Every structure is written in structure tokens, then in C-alpha cells.
Amino acid sequence: MRLFYPFKSNCKLNAFLLFFFTCFTLSAALPSNPFESVFETAKISKQDLSRSLPHLWQVVSKEDYSIADINAWVSSFPKEWKSFNELPEIKKLNIAWVTLGVAVPAAEKVFGHSLYQWYKASGITDEKKKQLFPHFPLPDLRKDYDQELSVYEQKIGTWQRLYPEEYEHFLNAPEMTALNPYYTGYYTLPYLPRFIGQAIELNKPHKQDTGNSVMDDYNYQLQLRNWYFVFKPDEFNRLYGKDYKFPDTFDIKTYREYTIRILKETKAGTYPNNDNAH
């Protein structure tokens, strides 16, 4: 004969009911869309986003939006996604978005040259760039960044030496100095133009081909400037005069006369003359 124990049965029933209502309460408390919890935790009013993040507002203003809708917004409007993450209320939460089902886009690769990054961050206009430093080289971002970086470093070095006036303008442009905490006043470059003293001959120089096109062009441009400076000063002033200035202590006339004399004596085979020091 099977006995009926109402006390034990009631215990099981009570336990079941407690479990059921606890689960029901928890599921009711959790938002159906985990992204919605972000606004609650950060204490952000979605309505406040309507102007600054209009496309996000269009998504989250709907009651039935889903994580798929959020991912579509992230993919279509990466700038808004970046701005959303930069909100102080969001930033301090340090959210692992993947745990909410958000497909975070891969971090944008940055071309890591300091002068280029400085130039980009300044927001200087193309028109102002053309006025102040028109020959400032820009990298070819279609190429592999690591390979382009080594080439670009040579291009920057060439530009700094061939166009010191432009480099000086670069360092002192208001858009650039606004990002330089160490700027204390107009910075004047302290060196002579690099073409001074560059090896030349009586005849106009020709470009060499060593397999390094950047350095070949750099050396050729230095030689060409020095040759024009010594032999055709008027033509030099027309072609390059605006790009260079010389310290007051530099005697241009003496430099030209001395260079021409040494080149003529070298061609004649009378230089160096050990009995007549130059």
C-alpha cells in the first residue's frame, strides 16, 4: 500500500514554483536586447543622441531593434561608432562589445610616420599646404605600410634638405604649433642649405642610376642646385630662390669664385697644387 505524504509533496511543489517564478522574474528584468543595457548602465538618454549620433538614434529609437540592426549601423557608420565609444559615459565602462554580440570592426591601420601624423592631426587645408610647404611629400597609402614607411622616410629627409624654407614654414604654421606643447616662438633652422659644397663639375650634372631612385634624385637635385647657384645665379634665383635663405656670415661671392677656380684648376690638372695651398 502506497502512502501519501502531503508535506513532502508540498515541499517539491513549493521548490518548483520558487524556481519557476525566480527564472521568470530574472528573464523579465533582463532587456531582450543586450545593447539596451548599455544605455541603462551608462545612464545615457537615447533621445540625447538624436543630434550627435543621428543614425544610431534611428536604430535604437525603435522598440524592436536587434543586435543585427546595431551591427548594420556599426558597419555602415564607422565614424558614429567611434564617436559613440568616445562618449565619457561609455569610455569609463570599458565594454567588451563582443560579449554583447556586437561585431567590432578591425582597428584602422595607421601609417606611423611622426611628421605625417602631425600633419594629418593639424587639419591644415590643402590650400594652406600649397602656400606654405607645397613640396611636402605624402605617402602612397595604397602600398604596404611597412615598405612605404622606409621609402617615405627618405622622401621626408630629401624634402627637409632641398626645401629648408618649407620645412621652417611647416614647423611654424599655426595649425602645426597648436599641437606642439614645446613651441615657444618662431623657430629658425640653423643650417646652411645642404646643396652648398655638393660635388659638381664645370658641366651641368646628370642624374646617376644606382638603383635607389629616391637617393639618386636627392643627390642630383643637390648637385643641380649647387651648379646653378655657382654658374647661373640668376637662373638659380628664378628656379629655387624662394626656397632658400643664407646666414649673413656666408660670403656668396667668395664661395662662387673659389668653387669656379678649383673646378677649372682640377680640369687643367693644376689642382691640387702642393706648392700653393688654397
pLDDT tens digit sequence for 119-135? 999 999 999 999 999 99
**How high is the pLDDT of residue 63?**
87
Give the domain-ending residue among 172, 191, 210: 191
User: Mean pLDDT throughout 62-72?
Assistant: 92
Q: Does 11 reside within a domain?
A: no
User: Mean pLDDT throughout 150-179?
Assistant: 92
pLDDT higher than 80, residue 21: no
Same domain, 149 and 209: no
Question: Minimal CA–CA distance to 60: which of 28, 36, 84, 91?
Answer: 36
pLDDT higher than 70, residue 194: yes
Q: For the chain, what percent of residues have pLDDT higher than 90?
A: 55
Q: What confidence category does residue 161 fall into, taking pLDDT thresholds of 50, 70 and 90? A: confident
Same domain, 263 and 232: yes
Same domain, 248 and 181: no
Q: Does 86 reside within a domain?
A: yes
Same domain, 224 and 242: yes
Q: What confidence category does residue 10 fall into, taking pLDDT thresholds of 50, 70 and 90? A: low
Same domain, 115 and 84: no
Same domain, 206 and 277: yes
**How high is the pLDDT of residue 32?**
65
Q: Which residue has the higher pLDDT, 93 or 4?
A: 93
**At CB < 8 A and 24+ separation, what contacts does 151-156 make?**
151/214, 152/111, 152/113, 152/116, 153/113, 154/214, 154/215, 154/218, 155/214, 156/113, 156/115
CA distance 195 to 222: 5
Q: Does 127 reside within a domain?
A: yes
CA distance 221 to 194: 10
Q: Where is average pLDDT lowest: 27-31, 72-76, 87-91, 270-274? A: 27-31
CA distance 156 to 165: 14
Question: Minimal CA–CA distance to 97: which of 37, 162, 53, 47?
Answer: 37
Q: Does 1 reside within a domain?
A: no
SS3 of residue 101 by DSSP: coil
Question: Minimal CA–CA distance to 65: which of 99, 96, 39?
Answer: 39
User: Mean pLDDT throughout 91-100?
Assistant: 90
**How high is the pLDDT of residue 138?**
94
- Of 24-38, 157-171, 216-230, highest mean pLDDT: 216-230
Q: Which residue has the higher pLDDT, 83 or 105?
A: 83
DSSP 8-state symbol, 87: S
**How high is the pLDDT of residue 12?**
52
Same domain, 239 and 185: no
Q: Does 9 reside within a domain?
A: no
Same domain, 157 and 212: no
Same domain, 128 and 178: yes
Q: By the 8 A CB rule, do 66 and 103 touch?
A: no
Cα distances (angstroms) measured from residue 148 to each of 90, 163, 213, 233, 258: 36, 22, 14, 37, 41
Q: Does 137 reside within a domain?
A: yes
Question: Minimal CA–CA distance to 70: which of 33, 108, 28?
Answer: 33
Mean pLDDT, the chain, whole residue set:
85
CA distance 148 to 111: 9
Count structural domains, the chain. Answer: 3
**How high is the pLDDT of residue 105?**
84
Domain range spanning residue 263?
192-278
pTM of the model: 0.53
Q: Does 216 reside within a domain?
A: yes
Grid coordinates belonging to 208:
646617376
Q: What confidence category does residue 268 fall into, taking pLDDT thresholds of 50, 70 and 90? A: confident
pLDDT higher than 70, residue 76: yes
Question: Minimal CA–CA distance to 246: which of 164, 134, 135?
Answer: 164
Q: Does 270 reside within a domain?
A: yes
Instruction: Spell 184-208 as b/e; 16+ CB within 10 A means b.
Output: eeeeeeeeebbbbebebeeeebeee
pLDDT higher than 70, residue 54: yes
Angle at 101 between CA 95 and CA 107, to 5 degrees: 60
204-243 per-position pLDDT tens digit = 999 999 999 988 999 999 999 999 999 999 999 999 998 8
Same domain, 184 and 213: no
Same domain, 220 and 187: no
Same domain, 269 and 233: yes
Q: Taking each helix axis from N to C terminus, what angle separates 164-172 and 145-162, rounded to the nearest 10 degrees?
A: 110
Give the domain-ending residue among 191, 206, 236: 191
Question: Minimal CA–CA distance to 260: which of 202, 184, 185?
Answer: 202
Residue bearing cell 620645412: 167
SS3 of residue 214 by DSSP: helix
pLDDT higher than 60, residue 39: yes
Give the domain-ending residue among 171, 191, 211: 191
